[in-house]
Structure 1
Amino acid sequence: MFIWHNGALVKKEEASISPFDHGFLYGVGLFETFRVYNGHCFLLDDHLARLNAGLEVLEIKKRINRPEAVRAVKELIEANGFMDAYIRLNISAGAGEIGLRSEPYSEPEMIVFSKPLPRAGSLQEKSGKIVSLNRNTPEGQQRLKSHHYLNNLLAYREMRDAPGAEGIFLTKDGHVAEGIVSNIFWVSEGALFTPSLETGILNGITRQFVIELARKAGLDVREGLYSVDELLASEEVFFTNSIQEIVACPQIGDNKLPGKAGRLAQWLHNRYAACREIYYSRNELGTEGFS
């Protein structure tokens, strides 16, 4: 198995970075995960826009454009022998002296990882469970998709008694936030609800795509601060992320939900599936009414 490291294919057993890398020492690094469908990097432009904005915040002197990313992914998946893949594009700050620094990072490490995925299929289900650990607040003004993942890891360990389910974070004030590896949506009285970025959640690329799909279909999409009771009183619930796509939720705790029988989850998944091998950005979406 190969990885792509700073412009070259490297066997994973031979890859290395410095122990003085500030991504290792202090978590100064960002990553994006996305799917490749039959060689196409779905929503790549949106992922790169988020990544590049984060790199600017962290003052890492690196910007990645679509041709560079496509070339890296193409070389990687061809070397590894698969066309449907999980991709993690990782930028680490690079080596420096021990101790915090205020200067920008000018020699970052770029690593692209891949692993094969089966061809995408029908709408899947995953139960949900409210975790007791609160969602931590972002380190800065907004949550970056960074190496700071301990909050997610500890919540994931809390889910050991519910394998295959998604843990749902609440904020310290008790508002619904997001899943451990997903954003969350629900339907109530004809409107689509999802927690606001004010809760400190990651603005997921699939989250943004689903909101755009729904709004262009004429649906009422509401972002705000919502309680667990409002979530549990909903008509259907689903999770979103870039690898699992749209995942219907049949149950949260003891509360039963329609799961993949949910009408909106089915429609959104079908629209999503029609876009997988075509679009680089949600901005390419046209209008199609929900019916």
Structure 2
Amino acid sequence: MQPIAYLNGVFCGMEEAKVSIEDRGFQFADGVYEVIAARSRQPFRLRQHLERLQRSADAIGLAVDLDSLTLPKVIDEGIARCGCDDVMVYIQLTRGAAPRTLECPAAMRPTVVVTFRALPVFSHELRERGVALRSVRDTRWAYCSVKSVSLLANVLLKRETQRDGFFDALIIGPDDLVRETTSANVFAVVNGILRTPPLSEHILHGVTRDYVLECAQDAGIERREEQMLLRDVIVAEEVFLCSTTKDIVPVSSIDGQTIASGLPGPVTRRLLRFFAPPGR
């Protein structure tokens, strides 16, 4: 398959998609985005992703009515056009193009970009043996619940931890509370109870996170949304990450300390089974 794009109402090849160098997304990171996984050509939780995209747009005062963009139709057509069963759909909305100034000109036309490419296949080996995290202090902006395209802090945190041989950074607040990683929500099994940080402006309101909590309820697993200290997570019985493109990823160690046996635990494996059917 060849990656394809949809730009302001027109489908085209990725190399043909061009935006203005004065687009505020390019100049100021003045925009929001969403990533959706489609397996067997079925977008996973499309409604929830689009609702989150609308919330992000509203949060930055980006005047766009997603209903008028008919994104579900665009996504269905893009998946069909790209010729791949498992597709990563990326949506980006910016405030549009205008001469560079912090003030936002009135009546701007938002730039709408949707891209379609093969969904990356996560390593089976890593899912079986788990990944290593390193804890870092949070250096991101204050509203991580908004999916802003301004991800430089995340890029630097991930780059630095991967340079040192870790899979990702485990982001910690100033009070030693666990938040998330650069691109995933965090769960831990502590004293037999599945726990994850509560929703706040400090973490992404993950669509897959919500799905994991629903799956835990269906499986009869006790779960709680509550704050977790780093020292408690390091000695947890199990730790795992979840995200749109990777589903569930077991964590084998944090800061060089092995989590329990170092292998995926029974709760993690039970929840992984909910991700097996295509499109869930």
User: 1: distance between equivalents of 2:123 and 2:162?
Assistant: 27
User: 1: distance between equivalents of 2:164 and 2:68?
Assistant: 39
User: 1: distance between equivalents of 2:36 and 2:234?
Assistant: 30
Aligned residue pair count: 275
User: 2: distance between equivalents of 1:173 and 1:112?
Assistant: 38
Structure 2 counterpart of 1:247, from 246, 249, 271: 249
Q: Tell me if 1:265 matches 2:268.
A: yes
Deviation string for 1:12-40 (max 9, x for gaps)? 22211112211122211111112111110
Which residue number corresponds to residue 58 of structure 2?
56
Residue 199 (structure 1) shift: 6.8
Letter in 2 for 1:134: D
Cα distance change, pair 103–267 in 1 and its aligned pair in 2 (3 A): farther
Letter in 2 for 1:254: G
Letter in 1 for 2:270: W
Letter in 2 for 1:263: P
Secondary structure (helix, strand or coil) at the match of 2:162 reads: coil
User: 1: distance between equivalents of 2:123 and 2:131?
Assistant: 19
- Unaligned stretches of 5+ residues in structure 1: 279-291
Residue 259 (structure 1) shift: 5.4
Q: Verify the 8 A CA contact 2:207 2:244 in the aligned structure 1.
A: yes
User: 1: distance between equivalents of 2:83 and 2:109?
Assistant: 30
Structure 2 counterpart of 1:40, from 22, 42, 60: 42
Q: Verify the 8 A CA contact 1:48 1:65 in the aligned structure 2.
A: no
Alignment of 1:67-86 (within 5 A): 68-86=70-88
Which residue number corresponds to residue 181 of structure 2?
179
Residue 43 (structure 1) shift: 0.7
Residue 228 (structure 1) shift: 1.2
Deviation string for 1:242-267 (max 9, x for gaps)? 00001111222332234553111111
Deviation string for 1:30-79 (max 9, x for gaps)? 11112111110011111001001111222222232499333222332333
Structure 1 counterpart of 2:119, from 117, 120, 123: 117
Q: Verify the 8 A CA contact 2:38 2:86 in the aligned structure 1.
A: yes
Give RMSD over aligned pairs: 2.6
User: 1: distance between equivalents of 2:218 and 2:67?
Assistant: 27
Secondary structure (helix, strand or coil) at the match of 1:152 reads: helix
When normalised by structure 1's length, the TM-score is 0.85
Cα distance change, pair 164–18 in 1 and its aligned pair in 2 (3 A): same
Residue 156 (structure 1) shift: 1.1
Q: Tell me if 1:19 matches 2:32.
A: no
Cα distance change, pair 189–118 in 1 and its aligned pair in 2 (3 A): same
Residue 103 (structure 1) shift: 6.3
Letter in 2 for 1:44: L
User: 2: distance between equivalents of 1:119 and 1:174?
Assistant: 33
Tell me whether 234-243 or 162-171 shows the greater mean CA deviation.
Answer: 162-171
Cα distance change, pair 116–254 in 1 and its aligned pair in 2 (3 A): same
User: 1: distance between equivalents of 2:107 and 2:158?
Assistant: 32
Secondary structure (helix, strand or coil) at the match of 2:163 reads: coil
Q: Verify the 8 A CA contact 2:37 2:244 in the aligned structure 1.
A: yes
Q: Verify the 8 A CA contact 1:34 1:88 in the aligned structure 2.
A: yes
Q: Verify the 8 A CA contact 1:168 1:179 in the aligned structure 2.
A: yes
User: 1: distance between equivalents of 2:67 and 2:262?
Assistant: 38
Q: Verify the 8 A CA contact 1:213 1:268 in the aligned structure 2.
A: yes
Deviation string for 1:150-209 (max 9, x for gaps)? 110110111233456122111122211111111110101121111223471111111111
Which residue number corresponds to residue 287 of structure 1?
none
